[in-house]
Chains A and B, each alone.
Chain A
Amino acid sequence: MEQQYIDLYKQHHESIKKHSTGVMNDLRDDAFALFEKLHFPTVALENYKYSDLKAGLSIDYGVNINRIPIPVNPYEVFTCDVPGIHSYLYFVVNDAFYPVKDIRNNSLPEGVIIGSVNQVAETHPELVKQYFGKLSSKKEDGLIAFNGAFAQDGFFMYVPKNVVLDKPVQLVNIMRSDVDFMANSHNLIILEEGAKAQLLVCDHTVDDVRFLSNRVTEVFVSENATYEHYKLENMHVKTTNLATLLIDQQASSNVLANVITLHNGQTRNMVEIDLDGEHCETLLCGMVIGDKNQQVDNFTSIIHNKPNCHSRELFKYVLDDMAKGGFTGKLYVAKDAQKTAAFQTNRNILLSKTAKMRTKPQLEIYADDVKCSHGATIGQLDESAKFYMQARGISGEEARLLLMFAFTNDVIENIRIPALQDRIKLLVEKRLRGELSKCEGCVICQ
């Protein structure tokens, strides 16, 4: 399975490099060497115990090494908008930043740079060089190494010191191809001291072919900066979506990451948040509503390297049909990270006999003055609560729905963009009512 990519790289690394930028190419050969050593991860690895990627990875995907532009107008194919949201809107088609003028005619605050990594590497080479690959190149992970070898571009965002983005930045990833297709991209997001930004990443597929998306996103949050990251996934069942999100937090920074999977084929989210300064605050949330043969694995770790930080983690799953869920929540408290407060909750509901859930919360603690806890449950809706409602004239079905909304609401309430919150509430409601076992406006999934 790996061999074809190893051969591909050996034969075509010249043209891969030709169509990318120096900063990315500098790390490319090392990443490839690492991939040659590690290969694609299998379930035999502890970190991939709950993600069997074999089927998704063994498909013979096309790759666009020579960066041939794909003819598409994202405004035509993109239908799953969040109505009422005022945002800075950008598109990435497969792995290429779509160079259009923002039709909503928003002008960005001064100093903010948004574009593709390749573009910015030419205009601001020092900036990109300073940060690019600083987190990802240290990871001993087959998928990240693969991305390092093959990714040629990505999304770039820079918010300078004390600049507050007044509106969320919306990044729409569209997978578009006529043949089975693989896209590797490497995103870089930098927030300087005291900066504030919200990023909403929406993942969509528009063609009825099999896709593999392998994306690495690096985020650097400097002192006193505030960053919110929302990932909303609405992709069709033939997609394998591998997303790695690496966040580095400096002192007194505040990060909210929210990973929502509403519809997908197979998804693996790896989220790692390093707290490298004191007094950081972190909230990591996620929600999965899965049915059919969907597979979702959220592999998360929050690493407390410095004292006096506070983190919370909340993940909720609702699984129906043959859906398979996996959750790993690693909470690591380093030796000197005293006064850490870290709490983690993972709650899951299985709705059918064939749905499966695997959860593995773990605490690794090397400091003594800490307060850490985790809780995980797998079960069903509370029958007595349902009975209570039925006794008051609410039909059984409606009571069940109410309880499920309540169940997922904890996560939705942590969304700090009102328009998005309303939208997700609506999508979840439709989804739970069974009206929408596919993405809205999509005709691919039946």
Chain B
Amino acid sequence: MSEDILDQLTQSDYKYGFTTDIETDIIPIGLSEDVVRIISAKKNEPEWMLEFRLKAYRHWLTMEMPSWAHLEIPKIDFQSIAYYAAPRKNAPQSLDEVDPELLKTFNKLGISMEEQKMLSGMAVDVVMDSISVKTTFKESLAEKGIIFCSFSEAVEHHPDLVQKYMGSVVPYADNFFATLNCAVFSDGSFVYIPKGVRCPMELSTYFRINAINTGQFERTLIIADEDSYVSYLEGCTAPMRDENQLHAAIVEIIAMKNAEVKYSTVQNWYPGDKNGVGGIYNFVTKRGICKGDSSKISWTQVETGSAVTWKYPSCILLGDNSSAEFYSVAVTNHHQQADTGTKMLHIGKNTSSHILSKGISAGKSQNSYRGLVKINPKAENARNYSQCDSLLLGDKCGAHTFPYMEVDNDTAIVEHEATTSKINEDQIFYCNQRGISTEDAVGLIVNGYAKEVLNQLPMEFAVEAQKLLQITLEGSVG
């Protein structure tokens, strides 16, 4: 394949690059105990919440940023980041009250709320710079007893649930970025599905980073009570800008007996320009626990954005017969770096996990899979199958695999397979012969390669994800 074609294919610009002029309420940059107190005060939080934040902040001071990942990250000055920004006008009651500028932004993103409400049947909890501006479909969900609201609302109205489960999966001292999040998190989503309820629609939230130099510290907590089911979608796009932005979110999922949670992500944050300037730092801690017997958690992610991605959606398989899945497509281009994968900790009996990871690297990017499968001594009959494939487009990029398997039980069966290759010349030739241009052929092959993962996404998302793959890798925009 000639280099020109690859260059063409891999040098498209970021489609969603724009910033919206909305007045934001920013507290001075920097991080101190006072800042933590101000954030808490601004959000009218109860005392226990402030205590939690302060505990985390004090612990964070003792920690150092880890360096084990296969990433090159310039030193981050945590004192030059603003830790809180909220649209100045307080949460409006209806769409009419929403700032027209904000609505325009959503329209540019193609997620017009009216349309979403009318057509897709999704409840959208729109997060624009850290504060939940509008929550839709809440009432129809409330009928079933489902709680789907912003994290701050949950703190206000459901303190018992928040207190019981917050930090139970990702403890405040878990890791550097999670601890930082615990100290300064702004807002996020809260989901509670009561016993025996099957959530009738896909729950969805859009994260969008908007104010200059604000770290986005989201926190999501999903609790699925016994015999319930929920599918949760998270998708992101962010405006173009030159300074690196830090994103350190936490997602916690708790699945009780027989519950099933499906969590899908499409991540398309600004990856920086062709020369590697700017872009989002995405350091996310995502973890779910299959607490009850026969529970199931499924992570699906399509990672196309961010300058640096560092995340490992994990599962703790505590309940007997519980199962977990991880499906991932990670695409890196230009100077992007990704170190992503999963952790599966088997503790209960007869637990099973399945990992499918597809990495695609182009340009000068570095794409790593890093995963841990750990079978505890008491996890009888545990089963794991992992497959990670890497596809290389171009001779300046890198694809790496770092799987860890730690088995302490003789009844376990753990398998891992990984391959690395480039697009087969024969396949392109075959397409060319049939009148398909090389550019289209590469698109076709890449989409086919990622199909197994894309198939796991809900319909609406699958379409967007496919487009994102094309935008990231091809000259034309879908």
Q: Interface residues, chain A, CB within 8 Å of chain B?
A: 46, 335-336, 338, 348, 350-380
Q: Is there contact, CB below 8 Å, between A373 and B402? A: no
* Known pairs A365-B392, A380-B410; A374 contacts B405 (CB<8 A): no
Q: Is there contact, CB below 8 Å, between B413 and A379? A: yes
Q: With the chains together, A358 CA to B407 CA distance in Å?
A: 6
Q: Mark B413-424, 1 if CB is under 8 A from A, else 0.
A: 111111111100
Residues of A within 8 A of B395 (CB): 335-336, 338, 367-369
CB distance from A317 to the nearest CB of B (A): 11
Residues of B within 8 A of A356 (CB): 406-408
B430 within 8 A of A: no
B472 within 8 A of A: no
Q: Is there contact, CB below 8 Å, between B406 and A358? A: yes
Q: Is there contact, CB below 8 Å, between A366 and B398? A: yes
Known A-B contacts: A364-B70, A368-B393. Give 16 more (CB < 8 A).
A46-B68, A353-B410, A356-B408, A358-B405, A360-B404, A361-B416, A362-B400, A362-B401, A365-B420, A368-B392, A370-B392, A370-B420, A371-B420, A371-B421, A374-B418, A378-B415
Q: Is there contact, CB below 8 Å, between A378 and B414? A: yes
From B377, B394, B397, B405, give the contact of A376 (CB < 8 A): B405
Q: With the chains together, A366 CA to B419 CA distance in Å?
A: 14
CB distance from B354 to the nearest CB of A (A): 15
Q: With the chains together, A336 CA to B70 CA distance in Å?
A: 20
Q: Is there contact, CB below 8 Å, between B420 and A372? A: yes
> Who on chain A is nearest to B425 by CB?
A369
By CB atoms of chain B within 10 A, which of A335, A355, A365, A367 has the most? A365
Q: With the chains together, A91 CA to B51 CA distance in Å?
A: 69
Q: Is there contact, CB below 8 Å, between A350 and B415? A: no
B24 within 8 A of A: no
Residues of B within 8 A of A379 (CB): 412-415
B403 within 8 A of A: yes
Q: With the chains together, A362 CA to B401 CA distance in Å?
A: 5
* Known pairs A362-B400, A369-B395; A375 contacts B405 (CB<8 A): no
Q: Is there contact, CB below 8 Å, between A365 and B406? A: no
Residues of A within 8 A of B70 (CB): 364
CB distance from A102 to the nearest CB of B (A): 46
> Who on chain A is nearest to B366 by CB?
A366
> Who on chain A is nearest to B400 by CB?
A364
The 4 closest A-B pairs by CB, nearest first: A350-B410, A368-B392, A379-B413, A363-B401
Residues of A within 8 A of B421 (CB): 370-372
Q: Is there contact, CB below 8 Å, between B418 and A363? A: yes
B409 within 8 A of A: yes
Q: Is there contact, CB below 8 Å, between A378 and B397? A: no
CB distance from A327 to the nearest CB of B (A): 9
Q: Is there contact, CB below 8 Å, between B419 and A372? A: yes
Residues of A within 8 A of B422 (CB): 368-370
A-B contact pairs, 9 of them (CB 8 A): A359-B404, A361-B416, A365-B392, A365-B398, A365-B399, A371-B421, A377-B413, A379-B412, A380-B411
Q: With the chains together, A360 CA to B420 CA distance in Å?
A: 17
We find that the number of chain B residues with CB closer than 8 angstroms to chain A is 35
Q: Is there contact, CB below 8 Å, between A358 and B404? A: yes
CB distance from B111 to the nearest CB of A (A): 36
> Who on chain B is nearest to A351 by CB?
B410
Q: Is there contact, CB below 8 Å, between B407 and A378? A: yes
Which secondary structure characterizes the binding site on chain B? strand
Residues of B within 8 A of A369 (CB): 395, 422
CB distance from B349 to the nearest CB of A (A): 13
* Known pairs A370-B420, A377-B414; A365 contacts B400 (CB<8 A): yes
Q: With the chains together, A360 CA to B419 CA distance in Å?
A: 15
Residues of A within 8 A of B68 (CB): 46
Q: Is there contact, CB below 8 Å, between A357 and B407? A: yes
B390 within 8 A of A: yes
Residues of B within 8 A of A374 (CB): 401, 416-418
CB distance from B391 to the nearest CB of A (A): 9
Residues of A within 8 A of B390 (CB): 363, 365
Q: With the chains together, A354 CA to B411 CA distance in Å?
A: 11
Q: With the chains together, A302 CA to B402 CA distance in Å?
A: 15
Q: With the chains together, A355 CA to B410 CA distance in Å?
A: 7
CB distance from A53 to the nearest CB of B (A): 18
Q: With the chains together, A222 CA to B397 CA distance in Å?
A: 31
CB distance from A109 to the nearest CB of B (A): 43
Q: Is there contact, CB below 8 Å, between B410 and A362? A: no
Q: With the chains together, A210 CA to B112 CA distance in Å?
A: 74
Residues of B within 8 A of A372 (CB): 419-421
Q: Is there contact, CB below 8 Å, between B403 and A353? A: no
> Who on chain A is nearest to B397 by CB?
A368
CB contacts under 8 Å to A, within B31-88, are 68, 70
From A353, A360, A361, A373, give the contact of B409 (CB < 8 A): A353
Q: Is there contact, CB below 8 Å, between A360 and B399? A: no
From A351, A362, A366, A370, give the contact of B403 (CB < 8 A): A362
Q: With the chains together, A373 CA to B401 CA distance in Å?
A: 10
By CB atoms of chain B within 10 A, which of A359, A360, A368, A377 has the most? A368
> Who on chain A is nearest to B387 by CB?
A375
By CB atoms of chain A within 10 A, which of B397, B411, B418 has the most? B418
Q: Is there contact, CB below 8 Å, between A363 and B416? A: no
Q: Is there contact, CB below 8 Å, between B416 and A353? A: no
Q: With the chains together, A46 CA to B401 CA distance in Å?
A: 15
CB distance from B448 to the nearest CB of A (A): 19
CB distance from B336 to the nearest CB of A (A): 15
By CB atoms of chain B within 10 A, which of A369, A375, A378 has the most? A378
Q: Is there contact, CB below 8 Å, between A361 and B418? A: yes
Residues of A within 8 A of B406 (CB): 356-358
> Who on chain B is nearest to A362 by CB?
B402
Residues of A within 8 A of B377 (CB): 353-354
Q: Mark B159-191, 1 if CB is under 8 A from A, else 0.
A: 000000000000000000000000000000000
Q: With the chains together, A351 CA to B404 CA distance in Å?
A: 21
Residues of A within 8 A of B419 (CB): 372-373
Residues of A within 8 A of B403 (CB): 360-362, 376
CB distance from A12 to the nearest CB of B (A): 38
CB distance from B420 to the nearest CB of A (A): 4
Residues of B within 8 A of A335 (CB): 395-396
Q: With the chains together, A394 CA to B402 CA distance in Å?
A: 41
CB distance from B400 to the nearest CB of A (A): 5
CB distance from B475 to the nearest CB of A (A): 19
Residues of A within 8 A of B418 (CB): 361, 363, 373-375
Residues of B within 8 A of A357 (CB): 405-407
From A348, A350, A363, A375, give the contact of B399 (CB < 8 A): A363
* Known pairs A367-B395, A372-B419, A373-B418; A360 contacts B400 (CB<8 A): no
Q: With the chains together, A375 CA to B405 CA distance in Å?
A: 12
CB contacts under 8 Å to A, within B270-329, are none
> Who on chain B is nearest to A319 by CB?
B410
CB distance from A396 to the nearest CB of B (A): 17
> Who on chain A is nearest to B399 by CB?
A365
Residues of B within 8 A of A350 (CB): 407, 409-410, 412
Residues of B within 8 A of A352 (CB): 410
Q: Is there contact, CB below 8 Å, between A378 and B405? A: yes
> Who on chain A is nearest to B396 by CB?
A335
Q: With the chains together, A352 CA to B412 CA distance in Å?
A: 11
CB distance from A73 to the nearest CB of B (A): 44
Q: With the chains together, A367 CA to B377 CA distance in Å?
A: 40
Residues of B within 8 A of A378 (CB): 405, 407, 412-415
Residues of B within 8 A of A376 (CB): 403, 405, 414-416
Residues of A within 8 A of B409 (CB): 350, 353
Residues of A within 8 A of B404 (CB): 358-360
Residues of A within 8 A of B417 (CB): 373-375
From A336, A359, A360, A364, give the contact of B398 (CB < 8 A): A364
> Who on chain A is nearest to B395 by CB?
A368
From A46, A370, A375, give the contact of B416 (CB < 8 A): A375
Q: Is there contact, CB below 8 Å, between B413 and A380? A: yes
Q: With the chains together, A380 CA to B382 CA distance in Å?
A: 12
> Who on chain B is nearest to A355 by CB?
B410
CB distance from A370 to the nearest CB of B (A): 6
